[in-house]
Amino acid sequence: MAKACAQSHGQAEQLVIHQDDIKEEEETLDESGDPLEESGRTVDSSDEEVEDSVAEDMARFEESFIGINKKYRLINRIGEGTFSTVYKAEDLQYDDFQNRWDIDERENTKWSSPSHRRRQSKSRPRYVAIKKIYVTSSPIRIFNELELLHDLKNSESVCPLITAFRHLDQVVAILPYFQHRDFREYFRDMTVSDIRLYFRSLFTALRSVHAKRILHRDIKPTNFLYNPQQARGVLVDFGLAEREGTDWHQCACTLSTEERRYRISHSVYAATLNSGNQHSSYPKTDTRSSRRANRAGTRGFRAPEVLLKCTQQNTSIDMWSAGVILFTLLSRRFPFFHSADDIDALLEITSIFGRKKMREISLLHGQVFETNIPSYSDGGHSLEKIILWCTGRSQKDEKTGKKIELQDEEKEAVQFLYRLMECDPAKRITAEEALRHSFIAKAFEESEGDEDMVDLI
C-alpha cells in the first residue's frame, strides 16, 4: 500500500505523495453536482439503518482497499458527489496519535473536569469522514486537492486534512467528521440573526482560504457543513479549488479604463455598429481562436465573469457564490438559480440586473452580450422587489392599502447582498471586508451578549 501523508494525526509536517503514476493531462471534468441532487444524497445520521446497497458498497470498498478496515470501521455513506463518495467511520487508532484536528475535543476540554475528560475519552468513539476519490479523477487534480488541504490545515472554519492513503490507483483522504444539518431542513426558518451567524462562519473560512490566495470555486450550501445549534460551519470539498494565478491569460477587465475603451473602439464589434447595423454579428472570416477559461463550479452559483470566460479569475468568484446563498436565504427559494447551461445562467442574471448592466460587464471582459428577449428590461429589477415577490409580499397591505416593504433588518441584509452580487469583480466585497461590514459585525455583538449572559449564570 502506497501512502500519501499530510499531518498524519498531527505528526507529519509535509505533504508527501508518490507521483510515479502522475502525468499531466488536460482537465475535462469541471461541473460539480447539482446542489439539489447533492443535498438529497447527503446523510448526517449514523443511527439510520444502513441500506443494503450502501452496505454492499462499503463492503466492496473494504475489499478493494486492503487494510482500511484495520484503521477505520465504516458506519455509513454520508455523501455522494460528482468526483467522490464520503463515508462516516470510527477511527480505531485515534489514541495512538496526536489529534490537533479534533475541534470537538478541544471544545469539550474547555468545559469538563480532568476526571470527566478521562472517562469520556475512554468511552466516546471518534468519528472521521473517509473521502474516496474516484479513479476517473485526474491524478493532478487529486494531488492538488490534498496539497491545498494540507496548506489550509490550521485555517479557521476550514476542514483540515488528517491524512491520506493510496492503494494501487485508489486514493482516500481522511477528514474530520462534523455534525451538521441538511441545508433544506432549516434555510426557510432562519431569522436575520441566524443568517448573520451563518455568514460570519462562512466568511471566516473564506478569509482564511483567500488569505492564501486560493479559490475554492465551488461555494454552495452542500459544501459548507453548518450546525445551527452551535452556529458553526466548516468549509469542505476542495476538489475544484486552485491557486490564484493558475493558467492566467490577460483579460480586458485588468486593463486601464483608457486602454479598454481604445480596444473596444477599434474592435469588430465597434466596426459593426459604425456600419449602421444596430445589432452585433459574426464576421464572415473570423480568424480569432476561441477563448478558454476555467469554468469549474456548480450551475447557479457561478459568477458572471466565470460565465463570460474571464481568463484572470480571482477569489471574488467565491464571494458571488456566497451572495447567491444569501439570496436563497432571503428569498426562501433553493436553489434560486436553476439554469441548464452557461447561456441560461447569463439570462437568469440578466432578468435581475438588466440588459444594460450585462452589456457593460460583458465588454469589461472583452465579450459582447446581446439578447432579443422582449421581457428583459434595460434596468432589471431591484433585489428588494424580487425578495418581496418570492416571499409572497408583492401585494398591498389589505388594511392600510400601502405597499408591503421589507423589515429594517432585511433591508440591511439586502444592502449587504448588493455588495456580494456586484457584477464587476473589482468592486465586489472581499471576505475580510465582509466580516467588518455592519451586517455581519452585529453577529459578533449578539454573540458577545450571549457570552456575557453565560458568564452571569
pLDDT of the chain along its 457 residues, tens only? 444 444 444 443 444 444 444 443 334 446 666 655 554 445 455 456 789 999 999 999 999 999 999 999 999 999 888 889 999 999 998 888 777 777 666 555 544 456 555 555 555 789 999 999 998 888 888 999 999 999 998 899 999 899 999 988 899 999 999 989 999 999 999 999 999 999 999 999 999 999 999 999 999 999 999 999 999 999 999 999 999 998 898 899 999 888 888 888 877 777 766 665 655 555 566 666 677 888 889 999 999 999 999 999 999 999 999 999 999 999 999 999 988 899 999 999 999 999 999 999 999 998 889 888 888 999 999 999 999 999 999 888 777 778 889 999 999 999 999 999 999 999 999 999 999 999 999 987 776 655 544 444 3
Determine the Cα–Cα distance for residues 367 and 358; give it in Å rounded to an integer. Answer: 10
CA distances from 66 to 43, 94, 164, 176 (A): 26, 19, 14, 22
Fill in the DSSP letter of residue 227: E
Name the DSSP letter for residue 116: H
Considering the candidates 44, 102, 218, 318, report the single residue annotated as catalytic.
218
Pair 396, 402: CB distance under 8 Å? yes
Q: Where are the alpha helices (DSSP H) in 98-138?
A: 103-111, 114-123
Question: Whole-angstrom Cα distance, residue 135 to residue 310?
Answer: 30
Distance separating alpha carbons of residues 359 and 371, to the nearest angstrom: 10
pLDDT of residue 447: 67
Residue 218 falls in the annotated catalytic set: yes
pLDDT of residue 396: 80
Which domains occur in the chain, in start order?
Answer: 1-18+31-106+120-177 (3.30.200.20), 242-450 (1.10.510.10)
Grid coordinates representing 145 are: 486537492
Which grid cell sits at 252?
A: 480586458
Kindly give the residue spans of alpha helices, DSSP state H, lying in 226-274: 257-265, 268-274
Q: Are 234 and 158 in contact (CB under 8 A)?
A: yes
Is-contact 225 286, C-beta < 8 A?
no
Report the alpha-carbon distance of residue 262 to residue 335 in Å, rounded. 40
pTM above 0.75, yes or no: yes
Residues 447-457 as b or e (16 or more Cβ within 10 Å = b):
eeeeeeeeeee
CA distance 192 to 408: 10
pLDDT of residue 118: 56
How far apart are alpha carbons 149 and 172 in whole angstroms?
13
**What SS3 class is residue 170?**
strand
In angstroms, the CA 177 to CA 240 distance is 21
